[in-house]
């Protein structure tokens, strides 16, 4: 039986700056977790079609389920009943994204010899990324009971279950290719998983698909 997932540990993993040329190769994002090397790969057309079918089926189910609202209605309820302004949270997220863009531009223009300046910019980027991620998770938490969020979550869960692999054999002199295998044999197995990798992998796949 898996240990209870430590959400703070998952948060720390997702806060790491993994999208760099060394870790993104051939539309695959590599990451290490508990000394094991994993990767998420871009889904094939077949997997995308299967994920969309799953998403459509779940949307039909969620629409009929009591206690779920559209994002528009849920945002209104949160603002009127709890004074939580989702649009304002989104504005802050957008601001951090603009800040990140400017910081990356500044970093790209730094001379390689300016090691101190580069280090300061990298620290600032990580700081802004963490603040942005905190707000993204806050917004997601508030809207997690909306139909749209649940449908999108199901879509990415399915993709993650099919597109996450772990390294089981490294290339050596007598073996020219690395050997990878799927982490979960089926979507049902993924759904029953209560491990950090299930949470981290879905975040990494989201990163890969948004940035490649």
DSSP letter, residue 23: T
Task: For 66-115, write each residue's pLDDT tens digit.
Answer: 888 999 999 999 999 999 999 999 999 999 999 999 998 999 888 889 89
Tokens in use for 181? Answer: 């295998």
Residues ≥6 apart with Cβ < 8 Å to 130: 15
pLDDT value, residue 2: 40
**Average pLDDT value for residue range 158-165:** 97
**For residue 23, pLDDT beyond 60:** no
Task: For 122-136, write each residue's pLDDT tens digit.
Answer: 899 989 988 988 898
d(CA 110, CA 120): 11
pLDDT value, residue 4: 47
Of 200, 199, 162, which is closest to residue 181 (Cα–Cα)?
162
**Average pLDDT value for residue range 147-162:** 94
**For residue 22, pLDDT beyond 60:** no
Tokens in use for 32? Answer: 């290490």
Q: How confident is the model at residue 166 (pLDDT cuts 50, 70, 90)?
A: very high
Q: How confident is the model at residue 169 (pLDDT cuts 50, 70, 90)?
A: confident
Which sequence spans correspond to the domains of the chain?
A: 7-211
169: enclosing H helix or E strand = strand 164-169
pLDDT value, residue 145: 85
CA distances (Å), 87 to each of 91, 141, 143, in order? 6, 14, 12
Task: For 50-69, write each residue's pLDDT tens digit.
Answer: 999 999 999 999 998 888 89
Q: Please, what is the average pLDDT of the chain?
A: 85
């Amino acid at each position: 039986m898996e240990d209870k997932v430590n959400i703070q540990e998952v948060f720390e993993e997702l806060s790491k700056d993994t999208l760099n040329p060394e870790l993104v190769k051939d539309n695959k994002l590599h990451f290490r977790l508990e000394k094991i090397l994993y990767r998420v790969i871009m889904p094939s057309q077949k997997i995308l079609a299967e994920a969309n079918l799953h998403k459509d089926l779940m949307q039909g189910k969620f629409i009929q389920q009591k206690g779920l609202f559209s994002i528009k209605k849920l945002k209104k309820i949160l603002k009127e009943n709890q004074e939580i302004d989702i649009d304002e949270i989104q504005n802050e997220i957008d601001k951090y994204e603009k800040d990140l863009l400017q910081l990356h531009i500044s970093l790209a223009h730094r001379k390689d010899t300016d090691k101190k300046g580069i280090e300061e910019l990298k620290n600032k980027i990580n700081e802004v990324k963490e603040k942005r991620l905190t707000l993204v998770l806050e917004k997601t938490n508030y809207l997690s009971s909306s139909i749209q969020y649940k449908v999108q979550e199901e879509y990415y869960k399915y993709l993650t279950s099919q597109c996450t692999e772990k390294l089981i054999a490294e290339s050596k002199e007598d073996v020219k290719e690395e050997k990878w295998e799927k982490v979960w044999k089926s979507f049902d197995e993924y759904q029953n998983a209560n491990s950090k990798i299930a949470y981290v992998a879905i975040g990494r796949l989201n990163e890969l698909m948004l940035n490649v």
